[in-house]
């Protein structure tokens, strides 16, 4: 039976339904246990395949009830899978059958894993099948966060003493009606605990609140604090620095901090999590861990929705026990590319506060919600969701709300009746419409016009010229749902470059040309570049081609194209790559054909990248299907966090 199952898995791999890696893992399990039941290689291959799609386990009841919700297979593939699962259609039968294999450890509830000498590749617990490392990371994250959430900071023991400080930092609430001052409450709760989450959509004031929290720490601490900023990607790290600089400009003057701007300027620039932890080449290990913890007192991490489960576990292992951790992010955005949806799992408990927490809010902030029922988890008391956006105009905000709420009819109506200067919709995708975005009067066209001019010879004037081109490019972006295909990033980039050549603008068919926007696709510590960084190829004062990258307030960085080994053109980029960014005008292209990546979260993320104008190029059917398709990653983290018995 086992050999027949391996033959079946080989056939599915040949058909493209499984990856060679998935088959190899199934074969590895059989080598460890040649007498195993046939379910073992099948379960192993499916688990590996689903891990590649971002799931950290197989939640058996959900998966067996509707495998097509989780596997992007054609109808014949699902029919064959249903036949293969015929002997094990229920979770109890998986548990009973797999328990006979030496490759599987079956645990009850959330029992500890055995010592290293007794480890198995797979763990089956609470009707969920895990790769061991995901099980181990899940259990560690849940226990570490529960401990931090219950660990109170002694300096915040007197909430009445905090109230004057908070009133200085938040002098008047502009919330409508009787809405609670959630930014002030978020600051107060972050001060009380060693772990907190401030979540909310773009423009809801997460960085604004974090800046006030840091100012309060600086003003009230008896000793200087080592405050560190971080983000999952280089682009997000640059973005939090920019946002923080803007937020510092709105801070009131505190007597304990004579020069607020100088105090924040002394903070180191934000770093990527990989850089912070000390990533080692060709290894999953980091230089900083429990034996060599990070040297910091407060860690603020932005764009936390992009943190995958393995990274969160590594971060918590390296965090000193007495350090505070504050996560900022939007729980409704796309989850991380790698396995896990940590912020979404954590934030499911938001809005439920126990009586003690509500009393603390009232005493420190002068306002509080009603206590929650059913004994809210200690973790939930450390999560604040900001809801009012100060970024969007009413139409973009309404469209984002309709998508987030799963209301396709409302979204269609908004797009059909919106003011054309804010929202635009082209229901019939056409390449010529997309190519209009590269015409001379367009945003991209302005970049090309500038790039085609002789560069200024004066170094200072040249630097200003480069900054202007980078700013023009940064205000507009084409986003794609797919990476490959004619309507994906590769197809749109190629179509724009072909158009530019036909127009006589692009003189060379080589990789590098003046005006080429360039996306870095791999971290390069030697050059100080991170995956996701974007520059533009332009001539230097001596007319030699360089790639210029934004560099905060300083002159743009210039790098020889020959030193950039991992790049691609960036006229268009995926929605995933755009996370952590905002553009005055954002264009989203959905393909005519359906795809499982077209989801509510992808649409919401793309729409909320737009600050002033959003254009959708997509058939109505694709739009409606995407709004109705909500991404759900199988994970046991939420249950481990909020229900330790499961």
- Pair 396, 374 in one domain: no
Question: What is the domain-level CATH number for residue 50?
Answer: 1.10.10.1020
Q: What is the mean pLDDT of the chain?
A: 82
For residue 327, which of 277, 274, 383 has the smallest C-alpha distance? 383
How many whole angstroms separate alpha carbon 362 and alpha carbon 619? 50
Within a domain: 631:
no
Q: Which two tokens stand for residue 116?
A: 């290293």
- Pair 482, 497 in one domain: yes
How many whole angstroms separate alpha carbon 300 and alpha carbon 263? 16
Q: What integer pLDDT is reported at residue 466 of this predicted model?
A: 87
Q: List, as residue ranges, the binding site.
A: 200-207
- Pair 476, 573 in one domain: yes
Inform me whether the pLDDT recorded for 646 exceeds 50: no
The residue with tokens 């939640």 is 59
Within a domain: 49:
yes
How many whole angstroms separate alpha carbon 382 and alpha carbon 363? 16
How many whole angstroms separate alpha carbon 126 and alpha carbon 285? 29
The residue with tokens 């988890």 is 377
Strand order in the sheet with 227-231: 271-272, 227-231, 298-301, 324-329, 195-200, 383-386
For residue 264, which of 293, 229, 310, 291 has the smallest C-alpha distance? 229
| H-run or E-run covering 130 | strand 128-131
Residues 321/153, Cβ–Cβ less than 8 Å: no
- Pair 270, 361 in one domain: yes
Residue 616 CB coordination number (10 Å): 23
Within a domain: 157:
no
How many whole angstroms separate alpha carbon 570 and alpha carbon 106? 48
How many whole angstroms separate alpha carbon 598 and alpha carbon 601? 8
Q: What integer pLDDT is reported at residue 152 of this predicted model?
A: 78
The dihedral built from the CA positions of residue 480, 483, 488 and 489, taken in this order, carries a sign that is positive
Inform me whether the pLDDT recorded for 114 exceeds 70: no
Q: What integer pLDDT is reported at residue 375 of this predicted model?
A: 56
Helix H, strand E, coil C: the string for 562-577 is: HHCCCEEECCEEEHHH
How would you label 64-103 residue by residue, b for 16+ Cβ within 10 Å and e otherwise? beebeebbebeeebeebbeebbeebeebeebbebbeebeb
Higher pLDDT, 492 or 158: 492
The fraction of the chain above a pLDDT of 70, given in percent, is 90
- Pair 519, 572 in one domain: yes
> Which residue range is the domain that position 92 belongs to?
1-125
How many whole angstroms separate alpha carbon 243 and alpha carbon 231? 13
Q: Which two tokens stand for residue 258?
A: 């004579």
Inform me whether the pLDDT recorded for 111 exceeds 60: no
Give the residue-averaged pLDDT of 529-537.
82
Within a domain: 158:
no
Within a domain: 159:
no
Q: Which two tokens stand for residue 228?
A: 């560190």
Q: What integer pLDDT is reported at residue 130 of this predicted model?
A: 93
- Pair 330, 399 in one domain: no
Minimum mean pLDDT among 64-73, 157-166, 288-297, 592-601: which range? 157-166
Within a domain: 644:
no
- Band (438; pLDDT cuts 50, 70, 90): low
Q: Which residues pair with 228 in a beta bridge?
A: 299
- Pair 404, 291 in one domain: no
- Pair 99, 201 in one domain: no
Inform me whether the pLDDT recorded for 275 exceeds 90: no
Report CA dihedral (578, 582, 586, 591) to the nearest 10 degrees. 20
For residue 240, which of 216, 263, 272 has the smallest C-alpha distance? 272
- Pair 272, 235 in one domain: yes
Give the residue-averaged pLDDT of 116-143.
86
pLDDT in tens, 349-381: 667 788 888 888 888 888 888 876 655 577 888
- Boundary (domain end) residue, out of 339, 357, 389: 389
Residues 328/207, Cβ–Cβ less than 8 Å: yes
Q: What integer pLDDT is reported at residue 116 of this predicted model?
A: 47
For residue 564, which of 548, 577, 553, 575 has the smallest C-alpha distance? 548
List of long-range contacts for 170-178, beta carbons under 8 Å, 24+ apart: 170/212, 171/252, 175/388, 176/388
Minimum mean pLDDT among 156-160, 321-325, 363-367, 472-476: which range? 156-160
Q: What integer pLDDT is reported at residue 117 of this predicted model?
A: 46
Give the residue-averaged pLDDT of 292-307.
89
- Pair 232, 113 in one domain: no
pLDDT in tens, 463-481: 888 888 888 888 888 999 8
Domain count for the chain: 3
- Pair 498, 365 in one domain: no
Q: What phi and psi, each to the nearest 5 degrees, are found at residue 487?
A: -105, 10
Give the residue-averaged pLDDT of 593-597.
82
For residue 618, which of 630, 609, 607, 610 has the smallest C-alpha distance? 607
DSSP secondary structure code for residue 482 in this structure: -
How many whole angstroms separate alpha carbon 556 and alpha carbon 470? 9
Give the residue-averaged pLDDT of 181-194.
87
pLDDT in tens, 616-630: 988 888 898 889 888
Q: What integer pLDDT is reported at residue 299 of this predicted model?
A: 93
Q: List, as residue ranges, the binding site for ATP.
A: 200-207
Span between the terminal Cα atoms of the chain, in Å: 33
How many whole angstroms separate alpha carbon 174 and alpha carbon 79? 57
pLDDT in tens, 203-249: 788 888 888 888 888 877 777 888 888 988 777 777 787 788 777 77
The dihedral built from the CA positions of residue 476, 482, 484 and 488, taken in this order, carries a sign that is negative
| H-run or E-run covering 44 | helix 39-52
Within a domain: 583:
yes
Residues 101/137, Cβ–Cβ less than 8 Å: no
Question: What is the domain-level CATH number for residue 464?
Answer: 3.40.50.300
- Pair 204, 327 in one domain: yes
- Band (110; pLDDT cuts 50, 70, 90): low
Q: What integer pLDDT is reported at residue 281 of this predicted model?
A: 67
Within a domain: 133:
no
The fraction of the chain above a pLDDT of 90, given in percent, is 10
Top mean pLDDT of 175-179, 356-360, 580-584 is at 356-360
């Amino acid at each position: 039976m086992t050999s027949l199952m391996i033959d079946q898995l080989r056939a599915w791999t040949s058909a493209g339904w499984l990856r060679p890696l998935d088959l190899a893992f199934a074969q590895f399990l059989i080598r460890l246990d040649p007498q195993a039941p046939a379910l073992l290689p099948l379960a192993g291959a499916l688990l590996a395949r689903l891990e590649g799609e971002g799931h950290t386990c197989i939640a058996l009841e959900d998966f067996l009830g509707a495998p097509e919700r989780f596997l992007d297979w054609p109808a014949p593939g699902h029919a064959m899978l249903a036949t293969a699962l015929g002997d094990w259609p229920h979770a109890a039968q998986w548990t009973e059958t797999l328990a006979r294999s030496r490759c599987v450890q079956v645990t009850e509830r959330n029992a500890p894993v055995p010592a290293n000498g007794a480890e198995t590749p797979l763990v089956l617990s609470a009707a969920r099948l895990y790769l061991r490392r995901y099980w181990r990371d899940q259990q560690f994250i849940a226990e570490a966060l529960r401990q931090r959430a219950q660990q109170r900071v002694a300096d915040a023991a007197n909430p009445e003493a905090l109230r004057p400080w908070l009133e200085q930092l938040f002098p008047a609430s502009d919330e409508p009606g009787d809405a609670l001052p959630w930014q002030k409450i978020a600051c107060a709760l972050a001060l009380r605990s060693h772990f907190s989450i401030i979540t909310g959509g773009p423009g809801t004031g997460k960085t604004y609140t974090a800046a006030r929290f840091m100012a309060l720490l600086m003003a009230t601490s008896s000793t200087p604090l080592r405050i560190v900023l971080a983000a999952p990607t280089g682009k997000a790290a640059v973005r939090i620095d920019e946002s923080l600089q803007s937020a510092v400009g709105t801070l009131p003057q505190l007597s304990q901090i004579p020069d607020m701007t100088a105090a924040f300027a002394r903070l180191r620039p934000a770093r990527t999590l990989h850089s912070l932890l000390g990533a080692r080449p060709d290894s999953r290990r980091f230089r900083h861990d429990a034996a060599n913890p990070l040297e910091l007192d407060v860690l603020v991490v932005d764009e936390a929705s992009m943190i995958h489960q393995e990274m969160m576990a590594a971060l918590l292992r390296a965090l000193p026990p007495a350090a505070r951790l504050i996560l900022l992010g939007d729980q409704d955005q796309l989850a991380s590319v790698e396995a896990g949806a940590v912020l979404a799992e954590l934030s499911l408990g938001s809005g439920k506060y126990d009586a003690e927490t509500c009393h603390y809010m009232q005493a420190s902030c002068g306002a509080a919600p009603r206590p929650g029922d059913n004994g809210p988890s200690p973790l939930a008391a450390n999560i604040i969701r900001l809801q009012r956006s100060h970024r969007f105009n009413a139409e973009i905000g309404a469209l984002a709300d309709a998508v987030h709420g799963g209301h396709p009819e409302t979204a269609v109506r908004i797009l059909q009746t919106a003011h054309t200067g804010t929202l635009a919709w082209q229901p019939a995708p056409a390449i010529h419409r997309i190519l209009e975005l590269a015409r001379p009067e367009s945003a991209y066209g302005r970049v090309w016009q500038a790039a085609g001019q002789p560069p200024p010879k004066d170094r200072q004037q040249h630097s200003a010229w480069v900054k202007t081109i980078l700013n023009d490019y940064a205000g507009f972006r084409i986003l794609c749902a797919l990476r490959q295909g004619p309507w994906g990033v590769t197809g749109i980039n190629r179509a724009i470059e072909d158009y530019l050549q036909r127009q006589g603008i692009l003189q060379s068919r080589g990789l590098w040309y003046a005006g080429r926007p360039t996306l870095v696709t791999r971290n390069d510590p030697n050059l100080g570049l991170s995956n996701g960084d974007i520059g533009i190829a332009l001539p230097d004062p001596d007319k030699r081609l360089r790639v210029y990258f934004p560099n905060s307030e300083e002159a743009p960085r210039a790098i020889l194209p020959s030193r950039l080994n991992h790049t691609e053109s960036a006229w268009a980029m995926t929605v995933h790559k755009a996370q952590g960014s905002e553009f005055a005008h954002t264009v989203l292209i959905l393909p005519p054909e359906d795809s499982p990546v077209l989801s509510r979260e992808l649409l919401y993320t793309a729409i909320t990248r737009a600050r002033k104008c959003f254009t959708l190029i997509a058939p109505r059917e694709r739009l409606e299907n995407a709004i109705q398709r909500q991404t759900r990653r199988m994970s046991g983290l939420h249950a481990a966090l909020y229900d330790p018995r499961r």
